[in-house]
Each structure stands twice: as C-alpha cells, then as structure tokens.
Structure 1
Amino acid sequence: MPPLPSLAALRPYLRDALRDDLVAAVVVSVLLIPQSLAYAMLAGLPPQVGLYASLLPPLFYAALGSSPFLNIGPVAVLALMIMQTLQLAPAGVSPSEAALVLAAEVGLFLAAAALLRLHALAALLSVPVLHGFESGATIAIAASQLPVLIGSTASGGTLPDLWRSLSAHGFDWRGVAALFGIVSLLTLVAVRRLPKGLISRIAPLAVLLAGIGIAWACDPQGLPRVGELPPLALVFTPPRLDPELWTAMLPGAALIGLLGYVSSLAVAESLARRVGQRVDARRELMGLAAANLAAAVSGGMPAAASFSRSVLMSDAGSRTRMTGVFVAALMGAVLLTLSPLLAWVPKPVLAASIMVAVLSGLKFGPYADAWRYARAEALLMVAVTLLVVFVGITAALGLGVAGAIALLLQRSARPHVALIGRIAGTEHYRNVERHQVELDPEVLGLRIDESLLFLNGRSLADVVQAHLDTHPTTRRVLLQMSPVNTIDFSGLSALKELHETLERQGRRLDLSEVKGPVLDRLKASGWESWFRGRLYLSHHLGMQDRD
C-alpha cells in the first residue's frame, strides 16, 4: 500500500483547490438527490437503490478515473436500458437482486476491456448511432413518465408497450397527482428559460422540496409518494450467484457497459477540451469498472457519467477528482439524515424532473446536418431512433453497430484511386476531376487515397484496369503512394497481382512517394524478387523519367 501523502504535499491542494471542489460537490449533490431517486424508479427499482448508486461509485471512480469533471451515478438513458434488461430476469428474482448482478457484469465487462486494453471499443458506436440512440431513448423516457405524471398505473419502455398498458388500464389518472405533476413540469420548464445561474441550478431541488412540503402539509388522497426509505445500511455482500440469472443479464450488461463507457468518454473528452486537458481512455474504463463493481456490492445499480451533472460540475469549478469524494460524503449524509423527508416525495414531481432533464438535451439539428453530409448515415440515425422508441434498445444498438460496420465496409471495399495530372508550370499533381491538368499519354499517374488492406485489396487491379481502358496508349503506370499508411498481406498480394497483370500487358508498374515504414515492410517481405518497377522520391520525378 502506498504511503499516505504528507501534510506538506497536501498544502497546495488545501490552498488552491479544496474550496472549489467542495462548492462543486454541493452544487452537483443538489441535482443528484432528485435524479438518483427518479432514475432508480425509472429503472423499476426502489428509490433508495439510486441513492446507493450515488454513494460509493463516485468514490471508486475518483480513485481510478482520469477526469476531474465526471459525476458518476444513475443516468436516465441507462435507467431505460436497465428497466428493459430486468424484464428478462428469471421468475422469483427481485428487480433489486437482478440489478446487482447487472452492475457486477457491467463492472467485470469494463474491467476485462481495461485489462485487455480494449479502450478502442468506443469506436463501435459511431456518432450517428450514438445520437440516434440518445434521441430515441430521450423520447422513450419522456413518454414512459407520462403515466406517472398524471398518477396512472400504466407503464412501458416503448411506445407500443405504453399504448397497450394505457389501453389495458383504461387511461386511469388521478386529479391530484396530475395537478402536482403538471404544475411541477411547467415550473421547471419556465425556470429553464431563465439565464443560467443559481436559480436554475437549485430549481430541481426547490421544486422537490416544495412538493414534499405540500404533500406533508395536506397529505392529499390519491397522491403516489416514494414511501418510507430503509435506513442507511451498506451491507457488502456479493450479488446472487445464480447461473440462470447471470446468463439472462449478460447481453444487456454488455450493451449497458458499452454505451456507458462510450457516453462517459465522450463527456469527459468534451469537458477536458475546454481547459486544454487530456483524458486517459483506459483509466476511464478502469474507473467505470470500479464504480459498477462497488455498486454491485453495496445495493446500487449500473452507473455511468451523467452529462448534465458533469457539465454542472465543470461549470461549478471542480478542480480535481476529490469532488467525487465530497459528493459521496454528501450523499452518505443525506441517507443518514433525510430518509424520513424523502419518503414524502411525490412521484409525479420526480416524473416532471425526469422529463424536463432528458428533453432539454433533445436535438434535431444533427439529423438535418447528417442528411446534408451523408444521407446513409442520416438514415441509420433515424432508424436507430425509431427502433429505440418502437421496438427496444437491444434491437436499436444491434442495428446501429451492424449498420456502422456495413457502411465502413461499403466505403472501404473499393479503394479510391484518382487519375492525377500536372498543374501547368508546377510540380504539383491533382485529380483531373477537380483541376485543369496536363496528362502524359504514355505514363498513367494514379494516386491511391487509402491504405491497402484485406477489405479493398482485391479490387485494386480492377480499378487500375478501368483507367487503362480509357488510356490505351499507356506504357507504364505510376502509383503515387503518399496517402498509403500501411499495406497488409492481402494488400501486398493485390499489389503483386497488379504488377503481374501489367507485365503480361507489356506495361511497367512504378511507385512514388512510398512512406518509410511501408517501404520497410515491403523490403522485409522480399518483394525485390518479383518487383521489376522503379521507386521515385517524388511523383514529378517519376512522371519526367523517359526510360
């Protein structure tokens, strides 16, 4: 165990950052208390589970993570995923027990990814897929809270499920619950329109306290409340060891872990860029893994970084990861002292806070931007959104990952080989489709605009031959290789095949501007035994060579 820091080592922190971290922790805790209760209930779990997930997870993330701005705890989008995953639990297993297994599997999944240095997993969810998923989840979450807002007993994680449930319950609603919910919703929406400041930050807690006060003073009939919370009793026990339960939770855990990591990393990197800092992706994996394992043994639920709370933590002046330690301490104090007060929280007020929090991040601009830039990616974004809303999260993420990979394969399957010519009076060579250039009838200058890999190597000879068919007087082909960063064995085989094809036609293959590492690998493969062409330091030298 490393030695504890000396007082001299702590003095700079105590002098420069302690006050800022404490202030940021207080500000974030104000928002975290109602959100912890609300997101646990959104996931179909007892409200205290959300509070437990806000207690130890930020503490363990602070020990292993890398960002001073992330607030780790319950997250709305993950809560929706948790709700749908818990529905797959075997009979006889309570949601709380299943949530512990789910958190443990998320933690183990992220820990294995960190151990194997798989932080590149973030690339599996492209920006269109991530935005489409978040938008769909936002709509689904807001819709799922409508029955709670009006006191109905209906529920559902997708619009069809919600419609069937509402139909089955006969659109039941309670006037007093609807009054609490709608007034809270309108108040929070109105506060959102005010300039950002202290009032906007404390508004969610103020509305919550007002709801508690009115519910306690009037005790109206028909108002659903959170109910009595158990006293703080962190019992560190392992999750239920049931193979059937662990197997049922595993697919959902993998998706929750992947999305939690990708979204948390995106938030961390965005906030780090504001202050010129860098984020360690592997340490983010380690921090999230530790946070979820801590939740699994302390009565919590899967946790990740909240975008709204993390931005608030950054704006409030957090300087170090000690802010997370102070947040954990404050949440512990809440559980020890405020449990009787929180029992009076009206559920419609929590529903209103969820709806306003998630809908504030709903943006349709990226759909239009994607449609103008890449329509295939825009269609994928829309498809993911619709699947989340109408089918489910698993199907949406599955289509998103598969669709992103399919688009990548489509783009990479045929290498872009540009016909290039010389701009008059210069030594610069550019694409004939974009510039006025001079061409040499005997030397065909082509530029390969990507690495030669197994994805695209097979079509190299066909692409070059298509250019030769329109330039029959070509005596030799000169490939400009400056954009090529690597050539794998399939690419080497494709290059050899092109060389042999041109040789049979009585033409020569030459290369220009080959990068050093690429040339080193070519030489190591013994390519001198079959390559009969020439290498040129610059493309212009190759075009001017008349030999």
Structure 2
Amino acid sequence: MRVRLPTTWRADLMAGAVVAVLLIPQSLAYAMLAGLPPQVGLYASLLPLLAYAALGSSPVLGLGPVAVLALMIAQALGGLPAGISPEAGALVLAAEVGGVLAVAALLRLDALASLLSVPALRGFENGATLMIAAGQLPVLLGSAAAGFTLPDLIASSVHGGWRWQSAVWGAVAIGLLLASRRAGRPLLARLAPLLLLVVAMGLSAFTPAAQGVAQVGALPSLALPLGLPSLEPGLWLQLLPSAALVALMGFVSSLAVSESLAQRRGEKLLPAAEMRGLAAANLVAAVSGGMPVAGSFSRSILLHEAGSRTRWSLVFVAVFMALAMLMLAGPLAHLPKPVLAATIVVAVLGGFSLQPYRDAWRYAPAEGLLMAAVTAAVLLWSIAAALAIGVVGSVALLIQRTARPHVARIGRVPGTQHYRNIERYAVECQPEVVGLRVDESLVFTNARGLGDAVMGHVRDHRAFVGQPQRVLMLMAPVNHIDVSGLVALQELHAALAAEGLRLEFSEVKGPVLDKLRAVGWLERYDVSLYLSHHEGIQAGTHELRPSQADRDMPGQL
C-alpha cells in the first residue's frame, strides 16, 4: 500500500489539473448561459466538488455547472419577483435541488432514475443541445434577441439587430476551436478553449480590436461569498417545481454518466451514494454563492482518460479552480462575450448526433418517436413540458408493452428435450396437452390479458392438433406474481375447468413457489407441479403429432 499511494496521488493530481483547464471556461460560459454573472460558475466549481468527493462514489464524475441544467436554470429564473436578483434566485434553486435530492436519498428513491428512459433522456439532451446553440447566436452576432424556445428567439430577432464586429469575433473563435479539434492532437483540443480566452482577453485589453464588442465587464471581488440563501417563502414556493425538474434531470444524467464509466473501468457504483453526493454538492453551492450542479459527460470522460484513480482528483480540481479565481479577477472584465459564446456552441454541438434517432427508429419506432417528440418539445415548447412528455411517454410505452403478457405455445424439438415456440420452430405437440410458456412476470399491468391469451392458444390447439385435456404452463421466465396476477390465475383456472381442462405448472422459480405455497394456492386449486417441462409433457400420453409449423416449414429446425 505504501508503494502504490504516491502513484495514485500523482495520477489524481494530474487528472485534476487537466480537468480544471476545461472547467474554467465552462464554468464562466454556463453561468452566462444561465443568465448569471460569470463568477457564479466559478463559485459552483469549488466547495461543491469537495462535498461530492466526501459523499459520492464515482472517482471520475466531473461535477460542476453543466449546459443542460444551465438552460433549465435560465428558464426557472426568468420570472423572478421584482427586487430578487438572478444570483439570489440561483442560490434558492440550488438549495431546493439539494433538498429534493436529500429527501429522495433518505427515502431511498434512487430508482427515480428509471423514470426517464434512454430515448427520452437522449431526446431531451439533444433538444437542449440545439436550443443552447441557438440561444448563443444572438450573443455571437451582438444581437439583443433572446428567448428560451425557437419561436421566442425568432420573434425577438426581428428587432434585435446585430453587430458585424461581434460576428467576426464569434466566427474566428469558432473556426479556431474547430481547427484545434481537427488537428489530431488531444492535448491541443483540451487546452484550446482556455488559450483562446486568454488571447481574447489580451487583445481586448491591450488593443482596439474589441471595440464595439460586448464584454463580460468588471467583476466583483472573487472572494467566496459564504451565507444562507434568501428565506423568502414566496420565492421558495415559486421555484420548487423547477427545482424538482432540475433535481430529476441532474441526477438521471449524472447517474447515466457515472454508471457508463464505472462499467468501462470495472468498478462498482452506488446509486444511493451518488444521490447523497449530488444532494450535498447542491446544498453547499447554495451557501457558497454557486448555482445548481451536476455531472458533466465531457469532464467525466476527461477525468477517466487523464487517469483519475480516486475522488481526490475532484479535490485537486477545486484547488486549481481557487488559484484561477485569484488570477482571473482583473482579466475577465475584458473577455469578449462572443468568444465565450463560441466555446459554448462548439462544446455542446460536439456531442450532437442524429444517429441515436435513426437507431431508435429502426429498432423500436415508438421509442424513436418519443425521442423526437421530447427534442421538439424542448425546442418549441418548454423544458418542463419536454420532461413531462419524456416521463409520461416512457411510462406509457412500458404499460403498452406489458399490457398483454406474451404467452407462446410451445412444442418439443424432435429428438431433444427442448421446447420452443411453434411459430418459430418445427416442433412436435401432444394432442392431450397444450404446452405454453409465460414470458414475463404476472403483475397488475398485464394480468387482465392472461386469460384471453391462454384461451386463444387453447382454441388454436384444438383446431390444428387435437382435443386437449390439460394446459401445462412453463413458468421459468416468471420472476414475480402480484395479487392481480394471482387473481388472474384463479380466473384462468375457473375458465379452463369450465371446459374440462386441468391447469398445471412446470419449472416455477423458488421465490414465486414460496409465495404460492404460503397461501396454499396450489393445494386449493389442485394445480400439479413439474420440475421440468419435459417431465410434465411426458406425464400424458406419448403419441406426438406435427404442429402447424411442421406443416408450414417441413424440415426446419
């Protein structure tokens, strides 16, 4: 252990230095994107990182201001009461986000991450990416246009005007950033945003090149402002719905990033610890002049690639950010806003792709439509509406998929003890027994469809094979049967008994069997159990007849 400790320390120090280089321009840019002074982004990149390092579980989650949350924060702070500054509103929002996550962690609600399916999450992120880029166009062009949706942005651009000087600065900055990415040198691409900001500040401060171009302006002292956020009840009540949405999106996106990297690194992630760490980080941001924070995909990837070994790398990021605050107070006043906007546009559009839409449409058209609908809602409606569509759409698709349980009629593959779907394989079926396989758990969402599915297969068996005497259900895929599923089985038993058929089970899993025995269900309804499906089939006569698949697909195995 004594030999490995220095190596780990050096790796974390190097990773922290590399990520701080990226976090400095992003902190400034995302604070501006949220409608907040640039120094707020720096404050959010100090003590919150230490809080997450103490309570989180991922050694590579790049915590801090993120683009998607910045857009949500800007919308949430758009209608503050008179006399309430955006900075004060951001502190209350961060406190509420931390509080919501803390309560969820206390109640062990980390499963909330499943409310947003992957198509909904990617649709939201892509929509936010496009909206963020579109929202920076007025800054790049020196226009007064503004808006959080495309219709609002287009409507305000009619009278917004533009400045050619700003357009030149923005175009040159974007060109240089894109050139650094295409140069094939990863280190240059990582350093380019910071180098560009330094050069732009120098040109603006010592030459007339930035005349007519909006600048960040003089900043207040960058001494860390410690203190409680506003305790105005009306403000807390107004921001609470937005805080809940920011908390959900921040946790879901952070968990998605940390889980994907944990799998890549062969590490174990604790979702409950992630929720606690994110809650602590936002609560600390609320008392240290910051804004709501979450995990960033780009910074997390960079931490991973830079060799981060432990969460000490986040501590080193905070140390380097503190040094940057001491050095940047004066020069930041001369930073041209079009250059800052250019770093946002290039950073967010670098991760945009249409491929997820094509893949989702080819694999599951309904989920592809959901992804597109969420993206469109972000662009044309609002962040809250997009999240609502994502959650409701994800749940609706789940219910639609599970509303009717998949029950397959199965037969024996000739010469084996394997049983397969008669619609996919050439199999043998006994006329006296209808072999069925239930392919999912029997719960309230699908229990009502069980009887219809089974009786339909019974009718088909009579039409193509012969008159059955019993129905043998292969239950191996069934992991759980709730009360609704149990009632559905009772109704199925009654329907089969009315037609002179016995209900039998094979290969019932232990936990399911324990519950059935606990209430004496099997004995009450005289349901036979078989260790294997083949054993249950052989309990009848051994005369086998070809299934419909045999007649349709002779010789196919």
> Quick check: 1:209 aligned with 2:193?
no
Residue 393 of structure 2 aligns to which amino acid in structure 1? G
User: C-alpha distance in 1, partners of 2:382/2:49?
Assistant: 29
**Alignment correspondent of 1:5:** none
1:16 is aligned to 2:7 = yes
SS at match of 1:300: coil
Structure 1 residues 12 and 328: CA distance shift in structure 2, 3 A = farther
Cα deviation digits, residues 292-350 of structure 1 (max 9, x gap):
00100111000011111111111111111111111111111222232001111110000
Aligned counterpart for 1:426 among listed residues 413, 416, 434: 416
Asked if 2 retains the 8 angstrom alpha-carbon contact of 1:231 and 1:335, the reply is no
Aligned to 1:308: 298
Q: Which residue of structure 2 aligns with residue 292 of structure 1?
A: 282
Contact persistence 2:432–2:540 (CA under 8 A):
no
Q: Out of 379-388 and 322-331, give the one that drifted further.
A: 322-331
Which of 385, 404, 407 is equivalent to 2:394?
A: 404
**Deviates most, 241-250 or 136-145:** 241-250
Aligned counterparts of 2:261 and 2:435: Cα–Cα separation in 1:
46
Retained in 2: the 8 A contact 1:231–1:336?
no
Q: What is the CA–CA distance in structure 2 between the aligned matches of 1:396 and 1:247, rounded to whole Å?
A: 22
> Which amino acid in the other structure matches residue 174 of structure 1?
R
Please point out which of 115, 120, 126 is paired with 2:111. 120
Unaligned residue ranges in structure 1 (runs of 5+): 1-8
In structure 1, what is the Cα distance between the partners aligned to 2:41 and 2:108? 30
Q: Deviations over 1:368-416 (max 9, x none)?
A: 1111110000000000011101111110110010001000001111100
Deviates more, 1:466-475 or 1:107-116: 466-475
Matches within 5 A, 1:145-544: 145-169=136-160, 172-219=161-208, 220-472=210-462, 473-544=467-538
TM-score, normalised with respect to structure 2:
0.94
Q: Could you report, residue by residue, the CA deviation over 1:18-40 in whole angstroms, capped at 9, with x for unpaired residues? A: 21111111111111111111100
Q: Is the 8 A contact 1:88 1:249 kept in 2?
A: no
Letter in 2 for 1:525: V
What's 2:555 paired with?
none
- Closer, same or farther in 2 for the Cα pair 1:264/1:357, shift >3 Å? same
Which SS does the other structure have where 1:397 is aligned?
Answer: helix
Displacement after TM superposition at 1:234 (Å): 2.4
Question: Which residue pairs with 1:87 in the alignment?
Answer: 78
1:388/1:395 contact within 8 Å kept: yes
Once residues 124 and 43 of structure 2 are traced to their aligned partners in structure 1, the CA distance between those partners, rounded to angstroms, is: 27
Identity rate of aligned residues, in percent? 60
Q: What is the CA-CA distance between 1:233 and the residue it aligns to?
A: 2.6
The one-letter code sitting in structure 2 at the alignment partner of 1:299 is G
> Which letter maps to 1:230?
P
Partners of 2:461 and 2:188 in 1: how far apart? Answer: 72
Conserved 8 A contact 1:477-1:509: yes
Partner of residue 4, structure 1: none
Shift of 1:196: 3.9
Could you say if the C-alpha distance between residues 375 and 277 of structure 1 is closer, same or farther in structure 2, counting changes exceeding 3 Å? same
- Residue 403 of structure 1 aligns to a residue in which SS? helix
Residue in structure 2 matching 1:101, options 70, 92, 101: 92
Most deviating of 221-230 and 479-488: 221-230
Which residue identity does 1:484 align to in structure 2?
A: V
Q: For residues 500-536 of structure 1, give each alpha carbon's deviation from its aligned partner in whole angstroms, at most 9, with x where no partner exists.
A: 1111211100110111111110010121452223111
Distance 1:478 1:427 in 2: 15
AA of the residue aligned to 1:266: A
Alignment pair present for 1:74 and 2:65: yes
Give the superposition deviation at 1:245: 1.0
Residue 12 of structure 1, CA deviation: 5.2
Aligned-partner SS, 1:419: strand
The residue type equivalent to 2:25 in the other structure is P
Distance 1:407 1:272 in 2: 28
Q: Deviations over 1:125-161 (max 9, x none)?
A: 1110011001100100000000101111211111111
Q: Distance in 2 between matches of 1:78 and 1:150?
A: 24
CA contact (8 A) 1:90 1:244 kept: no
Q: Report if the CA contact (8 A) 2:522-2:528 is conserved.
A: no
Question: 1:470 Cα deviation (Å)?
Answer: 2.1
Mapped partners of 1:31, 1:360: distance in 2: 14
User: Runs (4+) of structure 1 moved beyond 4 Å?
Assistant: 11-14
Secondary structure of 1:230's aligned partner: coil
SS at 2:429's partner residue?
coil
CA contact (8 A) 1:90 1:248 kept: no
Amino acid at match of 1:536: Y
- Number of equivalent positions: 536
Decide whether the 8 Å contact of 2:44 with 2:292 is kept in 1. yes
1:263 & 1:150 partners in 2: Cα distance?
31
Question: Bigger shift: 182-191 or 88-97?
Answer: 88-97
Contact 1:385-1:396 at 8 Å conserved across structures: yes
State the alpha-carbon separation in 2 of the partners of residues 30 and 527 from structure 1. 65
RMSD after superposition = 1.3
In structure 1, what residue type is equivalent to 2:207? Answer: C
Alpha-carbon contact 1:40-1:74 (below 8 Å) kept: yes
2:359 corresponds to which letter in structure 1? D
More divergent stretch after superposition (139-148 vs 242-251): 242-251
TM-score, normalised to structure 1, is 0.96
